[in-house]
Amino acid sequence: MDLTFSPQEIAFRDELRGWLAANQPDAAPVDGGEDAQYQWRRDWQRRLYDAGWAAPAWPVEYGGRGASLTESAIYYEEIGRSRSPLAANTLGLLLGGPTLMVWGTDEQKERYLPPILSAEEIWCQGFSEPEAGSDLASLKTRAVKDGEEWVVTGQKVWTSGAQYSKWCMLVARTDGDVPKHKGLTYFLMDMEQDAVQVRPLRQITGEDEFNELFIEEARIPDANVIGGVGNGWKVALTTLMNERAGLGFALQIRLRQLLDDTIAVAAERGLLEDPVYADELAELHTRCESIRLLAWKGLTDVERYGQPGPEGSLVKWLWSDTNQRLTQLAVDIVGPAALTAGTSWSYEFLRARGNTIEGGTTEVLKNIVAERVLGLPRLKVAV
Amino acid sequence: MDFGLTDDQREIQRTARELLAERARPDRVREHAEARSTDEQLWKELSELGWPGIAIAEEHGGQGLGQIELSILCEELGRSLAPVPFLGSAMAATVIQQDGSAEQRERWLGGLASGATIGALGAAVDGTAELVIGGREADVFVLIDEDGSGRILGAEEADVTPVDSVDPTRSTARVSGAGEPVGDGGACAGLGRALVSVSSELVGVCDRALAMTVEYVKDRKQFGVPVGAYQAVSHRCAQMLLETEKARATAAFAAWTADADPEALAEAAAMAKVCASSAAREVTASAIQAHGGIGFTWEADVHWLYKRAQLDAALLGGAKRHRARLAAILAERVGAGAAA
């Protein structure tokens, strides 16, 4: 056991920390709503890109730094620590790029990877549907071959950044006659066509972070199939496995910062000496540290032994639960300001409700833990 | 960064697990628990293997290994519920080694390392420590007073009254008496390590409770399917794993800290004890629930785990007390930040 970073990892961290200190992003725009926010994050990615910091985990040949898993985690920790925004094209960087690297042809990689990195072309993810959430493989969006093209019709939901995106990672059914996982194909769909309508989906926070896609006979050239016709489930799993890998470290640092902010307010108001609040804050402090340890343990076990431990699903579950508990406690500590619309405190606790749903609901995570880690039998449900 | 054990540590873990699977089988633990007797034969065997002295310096006849190795043994002994006075003896030795005077170390550590001397450690309130684990057979006691300072008492100078606790896999006693201060009479730094040892034992208890439960719910059928297929049951098991892994990660971190970053130990040990105490209570209670009616019987073995968990969870302060310590550390940190 050695819970320190190697000299090389420390050098990586210090270089990035130095760069972030010297290249603070501009202050977040106050006016202009979502569009201005998005442009701000796009400008930020451009700066990261120019300095070679957009996707350190990508191999050098694709414009990354070939960073190790540990370095990549350090990267997201430092992004979080410096309170920098996430890059505009985070889905392309974290999900789309790595998926293409595994499944894409040389032509596809050459064509699509560079503009992901530079934020010239933004990517979004068209997986979930109104009737296919946790049961993703039951999705109904259909793609039918028509000469050298596919004609796609269906509806997608929870597509963040769709209004800014050029490309959509789309999973559609290309064969209805085989068991549900087998008839799927993974496409790269051009969002700039009339057959794709993007409608904002307003969340409980009042903002439109997500969208719905209405797809009515959209056209996708055959060359935009990723990983082969009928292989969509496997390709989608590659995307999903990348979903939390790095981002978890940024989220974990944000949780830490929010806890520190809450502790500071509690201290100001003398609540740290109040045993009721002290007990709960100490519990959250302990959970926050447990999350950090479990996240690092999961990552370094993969790096060193090639075997993920049970930590992966546990970290997301524990993080989402802890963030909800913390933001709710903050309401008690901060008081009326946390229940006033438009404050950061009220935003945090409202947004936290989504944490136990997005990226795998807690219920699904518990199923995964029970079945794949503990080996418990799966309840057979009527299909 | 590496959370894994070294080859040597893995070997210690493997041989300990194999030995205890053989020598501390459930039927043997039950026999001793029902008789409220210590397994003296096993203690002798463990002593010959050098277990009691694993973290005692070589100059005192120990193996001179660290807290990680000691924690490995604690975890395995917790898993097996072996009826031996290991934990108390190791905790007493830890404090004497860390905080005792040269004379005290010289006097006690040799015997504690060889297993010829049995130690016990307890927290005293108004001078008296209740339910001191291993109290009946201990030759030397370390009592920790409210201010964190310690006293050493040889058995002959201690006032020892055996008291049966709910956990019959180990003896317990009420202990008082004057004794002499540990070291210079200041707060004992060795308590941090003692907390890690208890936490590690609790990780073993949790792990075993979970394993027994998983095995049971895969096998037990109701309404024609294994009960482990119902999410009400399987999600409970998932929760047990989460609590166990939290306890494992924080205990491992604290054990590493004890040797590699002692300044961070007070906080890490408190966190480990918070996680281990609450995990052990919840996980062993869940184990009883998931076993259904059989889990509530004397015949099933899960209650021994539940009872060991209760004693260890309370030992040297439960989760609430250590959260209060953590809150004090947080307050100090905020104060220091404001002053800086």
Per-domain boundaries in chain A:
7-88, 123-235, 244-373
Which residues in chain B touch residue A371, judged by CB atoms under 8 angstroms apart? 234
CATH number at residue B203: 1.20.140.10
How high is the pLDDT of residue A312?
Answer: 76
Is residue A129 within 8 A of residue A156, CB to CB? The reply is yes
Looking at the structure of chain B, the number of domains it has is 2
Same domain, B176 and B237: no
How high is the pLDDT of residue B19?
Answer: 98
What is the C-alpha to C-alpha distance for residues B70 and A369, in angstroms, rounded to an integer? 30
Contact A286 B275 (CB under 8 A): yes
> Which residue among B118, B146, B181 closes a domain?
B181
Under the banding of pLDDT at 50, 70 and 90, the label for residue A165 is very high
Distance from CA of A267 to the nearest CA of B (A): 7
Please give the share of chain A, as a percent, with pLDDT higher than 90.
Answer: 78
Which residues in chain A touch residue B271, judged by CB atoms under 8 angstroms apart? 285-286, 289-290
Query: Hey, what CATH class is A244-373 in?
Result: mainly alpha
For chain B, which residues score pLDDT lower than 50?
A: none
Same domain, B64 and B34: yes
Contact A282 B323 (CB under 8 A): yes
Which residues in chain A touch residue B217, judged by CB atoms under 8 angstroms apart? 376
Same domain, B81 and B119: yes
Q: H or E segment at B307?
A: helix B302-314
Calculate mean pLDDT across residues A68-86. 90
Active-site residue, from A9, A243, A283, A358: A243
How high is the pLDDT of residue A243?
Answer: 65
Specify if B296 maps to a domain. Answer: yes
How many Cβ contacts (< 8 angstroms) between chains A and B? 157
Mean confidence (pLDDT) of chain A? 92
Domain A123-235: give its CATH architecture.
Beta Barrel (2.40)
The predicted-structure confidence for A92-120, as pLDDT tens digits, reads as follows 999 999 999 999 999 999 999 999 999 99
Closest residue, chain B, to A368 (C-alpha): B238
Specify if B158 maps to a domain. Answer: yes
End-to-end Cα spacing for chain B: 31
Contact B327 A318 (CB under 8 A): no
Which of A41-50, A299-308, A369-378, B12-21 has the least mean pLDDT?
A: A299-308
Distance from CA of A314 to the nearest CA of B (A): 6
> Which residue among B145, B162, B181 closes a domain?
B181
**Residue of B3, B68, B241 with shortest CB distance to A374:** B241
Specify if B1 maps to a domain. Answer: no
What DSSP string runs through B243-298?
A: HHHHHHHHHHHHHHHHHH-GGGHHHHHHHHHHHHHHHHHHHHHHHHHHTGGGGGSS
Which residues in chain A touch residue B229, judged by CB atoms under 8 angstroms apart? 376-380
Contact A304 B271 (CB under 8 A): no
Pairing of strands A149-157, A142-146: antiparallel
Closest residue, chain B, to A372 (C-alpha): B238
The predicted-structure confidence for A306-358, as pLDDT tens digits, reads as follows 766 667 789 999 999 999 999 999 999 999 999 999 899 999 999 999 999 98
Q: What torsion do the CA atoms of A100, A105, A111, A117 make, to the nearest 10 degrees?
A: 20
How high is the pLDDT of residue B72?
Answer: 98
Distance from CA of A73 to the nearest CA of B (A): 12
**Residue of A2, A279, A317 with shortest CB distance to B1:** A2
**Residue of B2, B242, B260 with shortest CB distance to A304:** B2
The predicted-structure confidence for A116-143, as pLDDT tens digits, reads as follows 999 999 999 999 999 998 888 999 999 9
Residue A2 DSSP one-character state: B
**Residue of B225, B234, B252 with shortest CB distance to A370:** B234
- Contact with chain A for residue B237, Cβ under 8 A: yes
Is residue A92 within 8 A of residue A242, CB to CB? The reply is no
End-to-end Cα spacing for chain A: 47
Same domain, B173 and B243: no
Contact B3 A375 (CB under 8 A): no
What is the C-alpha to C-alpha distance for residues B220 and B226, in angstroms, rounded to an integer? 5
What is the C-alpha to C-alpha distance for residues A219 and A170, in angstroms, rounded to an integer? 12
Output the six-digit token pair for B327.
């809150």
Helix/strand/coil percentages in chain A, nearest 5: 55, 15, 30
Which residues in chain A touch residue B255, judged by CB atoms under 8 angstroms apart? 1
Same domain, B164 and B267: no
Closest residue, chain A, to B217 (C-alpha): A376
Specify if B80 maps to a domain. Answer: yes
- Contact with chain A for residue B234, Cβ under 8 A: yes
Domain enclosing residue B330, as ranges: 191-339
Calculate mean pLDDT across residues A10-30. 93
A243 is catalytic: yes
Distance from CA of B131 to the nearest CA of A (A): 26
Distance from CA of A163 to the nearest CA of B (A): 38
pLDDT at A245 over 70: no
Specify if B186 maps to a domain. Answer: no
The predicted-structure confidence for A177-225, as pLDDT tens digits, reads as follows 998 899 999 999 999 999 999 999 999 998 888 899 999 999 999 999 9
Distance from CA of B101 to the nearest CA of A (A): 31
Is residue B103 within 8 A of residue B71, CB to CB? The reply is no
Contact B229 A376 (CB under 8 A): yes
How high is the pLDDT of residue A308?
Answer: 65
Same domain, B114 and B36: yes
Same domain, B64 and B119: yes
Closest residue, chain A, to B335 (C-alpha): A267
Contact A285 B326 (CB under 8 A): yes
How high is the pLDDT of residue B340?
Answer: 61
Same domain, B146 and B226: no
Residue that has been written with the tokens 């009527």 in this structure:
A382
Same domain, B76 and B160: yes
Contact A5 B253 (CB under 8 A): no
Under the banding of pLDDT at 50, 70 and 90, the label for residue A305 is confident
Residue that has been written with the tokens 């010959």 in this structure:
B48
- Contact with chain A for residue B1, Cβ under 8 A: yes
Contact A369 B326 (CB under 8 A): no
Same domain, B198 and B131: no
pLDDT at A381 over 80: no
What is the C-alpha to C-alpha distance for residues A40 and A27, in angstroms, rounded to an integer? 9
Same domain, B149 and B244: no
Instruction: Name residue B125's beta-bridge partners.
Output: B128
- Contact with chain A for residue B256, Cβ under 8 A: yes
Same domain, B131 and B200: no
Distance from CA of A374 to the nearest CA of B (A): 7
Under the banding of pLDDT at 50, 70 and 90, the label for residue A246 is low
| A7-88: CATH number | 1.10.540.10
